Structures are given as structure tokens and as C-alpha cells.
Amino acid sequence: MAILGKKGKKDSNYLSAKESRRISRENRKITDAIEKQRNRKHIPREEYVTKMRDPNNIVEFDNLHTYFFTDIGTVKSVDGVSFDIPKGKTVGVVGESGCGKSVTSLSLMQLVQRPQGQVVEGEIRLNMGEEAYNIPKVPIREMQKIRGNKVSMIFQEPMTSLNPVFRIGAQVDEIIALHNKEMSKEEVKARTIEMLEMVGIANSEGVYNMYPHELSGGMRQRIMIAMGLACSPQLIIADEPTTALDVTIQAQILDLLRNLKDQINSSIMLITHDLGVIAEMADYVVVMYAGRVIEKGTVHEIFKDPRHPYTIGLMNSKPVVGRKVDRLYSIPGNVPNPVDMPDYCYFRDRCDQCTAKCDGAYPAEIRISPTHSVSCYLYEGEV
């Protein structure tokens, strides 16, 4: 029986079993075709070798679309995201839960859950020196050389990312040995000890022989960072690296990341909900909302001169020591259903500044300065 809505009409969110089967069949057709392309034995280099738009960038996201083909419809998790990560800089990515921050970074590592999750359009260009690779098209074998070596990722949960049945030393050794086949066992161990010391673990020989459960959360996150940095990557992706930690350890870990970044001269893509962390760490900020970038600029531009009503709302919802308020500001309403996105501005229904224009198509990107841009009708005509 169909579920009836308030006015007796069929509820638009309800899917019959027949409809769901039809969607699954169609999804399979689409994902099978993409997977077949990917799984070819020999992929010619021309298909994934490209050029950077600006050789001073380490990564360029260019109109990236990453979709999940689920049984209830297509979830457009990342829907046309473009931004650059310059060499040696930190780019902070902020936005509400579910806006596509993690999926953007997973796309760069080719770690999106396949076959449902697929990059369907756009490029992610990774600077390889002379040439660049378009990551979504890179063959799996080639990708394994990039992960951990050129680009590495530090996840939110250090306990689940470490294997509980192996000693710390063995786990760090494994990564170093994998990417440095010429090293002897003793050299690998020496490098592991050196890495543990670099991330501020005093008793490095002792910790080398410990199991993950013997360490505190902060220590485990240090181990994860040591593993991430073992091969001096040019880009470190840190997805909420300090959310599971308390504030003092958080500050230590951030200091550590910043120092290490300078030591090995890499770039950081820092994903976080915490605007304080962004203000302290980032050079550039990218604000995402419902799978799109709505505003981006230098950290100074975003904090001192936020333009998009969502960014302004985010800044207002940040508690400030010394400012007395009755209630902390919160942005009213919810993010639209990702399966069924409207064709007007995704923020319109929550926006207190919307005008008649906002009923039109999704707003184009408007440049406010060479580094600052915003997608909002309020600034149309302003350059």
C-alpha cells in the first residue's frame, strides 16, 4: 500500500519496491560501464596524464562531481567542486556535516566506496613534477604508488585506523618498507624510531614494542601522523585530525602538524568543523554547502569579510569568549535532501536575505578579489 501524505497525495519520498528495483537496475548499468573502463588491463598513459593550470599548485580540483548510486536514487555528494591547493600552504575545508568534505578528499585518494560511489565528471589534477595526473582516471596500480608516498591521509579515529593485533613498530615499519624497497630491516627500524621521535614520542624504543591499546588517544594520533608522514608526502590530508582529542592534546597535535609541514615543505588539506582550528592553521578557506563550494578565499578574507549568508551564519554561530549572548546563534532549517536537490540556490530556504532573484538558477561564482569568490545573487554586478 502506498503511504499517503497529509493531503491524501502519494508521499514523494516513498518508493515502491518496483520503483526501487528499477533504480537498482539502472544504477548497475551505469556503474558497470564505469567499472569496466577502470578495470581494463592496459590503460594508456595519455588517458590520465595532463598538465597543471598553475605549476605552483600541488592539487587542482576542477568541477569535481562524485555521486553515489544508491537504491533510493543518486546522491550528489560532490556536485561541481573547484579549488586549488597551492604548494606549501594549508587549505581549510569547512561546512556542515554531510556537505561532502570527506567525499572530496576520498576522491583525491581514489578511496570512495565503489562501485556505488563514482567520480562522474571533472578532474583532480595532482602535480607530479614535469607532468600532472588526473587522479580519477589513474589506474589502481599507479595509484598505490601515490597513496602514502606523495599524498597521505590522517583520519579522525586513530583507534580504528591502527590494527589492534600488531605492535606499533611493525605497523610503521610496514609502511616505510613498502615505499622504500631498497632499505634493509635495520634501516627501516631506524627510520621508524626517527619518525616516532619526530612526532614527540619520548620513549620511542618502548613504544615501538607496544600495542595500540597500551597508548592514549593523543599518542595514537601521533602514531597515525608518524605513519602519514613516514614518506615525506607533498600533500597531507587531515580529516578532522583532532576531533576525538581533548583541547590541550588538540593544540599539541596542531602545533606538531604545522612544524612537520614546514620541515618537509608539504601542503595540508585540513578538514574540520572547528573554525578556531581553521583560523589558527589555514592560509586559505573553502566553505562547502550541500556538495558545492559556496565561498572561498584567504583566511583573512573569510574571517574578516565573509559574504555568503551561510558563511556569515557560520561565523555568528562561533562562541566568543567575553561576548555575552542569551542564546548561541544557529542557522535555521536543514540542508536539502541530497537525492532530490532543487535547481535554485541550495541555501535559499534557510536564507534570511533571499530576494526574488534567488528563485532563479543556481547562482554563478562571483569574484570579489583575485583570491575571494562567492556564489550568491547578493553580489551580482559587484567586482
Contacts with ligand ATP, residue ranges (CB under 6 A): 68, 70, 75, 77, 95, 97-103, 113, 116-117, 338
CB nearer to ligand ATP: pick between 58 and 75? 75
For residue 109, the minimal CB distance to ligand ATP (Å) is: 13
Burial 175-198 (b: 16+ CB within 10 A, else e): bbbebeeeeeeeebbebbbebbeb
104: Cβ contacts below 8 Å, ≥ 6 apart = 61, 64, 66, 78, 81, 93, 288
Q: How far is the CB of 318 from ligand ATP (least distance, A)?
A: 16
At its nearest, how many Å lie between Mg ion and the CB of residue 240? 7
Residue 105 lies near Mg ion (rule: CB under 5 A)? no
**Partner interacting with residue 334 (select from Mg ion, ligand ATP, none; CB below 5-8 Å by kind):** none
Q: Does 102 bind Mg ion (CB under 5 A)?
A: yes
- Nearest CB to Mg ion, comparing residues 102 and 107: 102
**Coil, strand or helix at 56:** coil
Contact 355, 309 (CB under 8 A): no
Closest CA to 123 of 52, 178, 190: 52
User: Cβ closer to Mg ion: 93 or 229?
Assistant: 93
Coil, strand or helix at 10:
strand
77 binds Mg ion (CB under 5 A): no
- Comparing CB distances to ligand ATP, the nearer of 77 and 127 is 77
What is the total residue count of the chain? Answer: 383
Q: Which does 229 bind (CB under 5 to 8 A by kind): ligand ATP, Mg ion, none?
A: none
Q: By CB under 5 A, which span of 101-109, 183-191, 218-226, 255-263 interacts with Mg ion? A: 101-109
SS3 assignment, position 73? strand
Measured from the CB atom, the residue of 103 and 132 that comes closer to ligand ATP is 103
Question: Which of left, alpha, beta for 351 (phi over 0: left; psi -120 to 50: alpha)?
Answer: beta
Q: Which residues bind Mg ion (CB under 5 A)?
A: 102
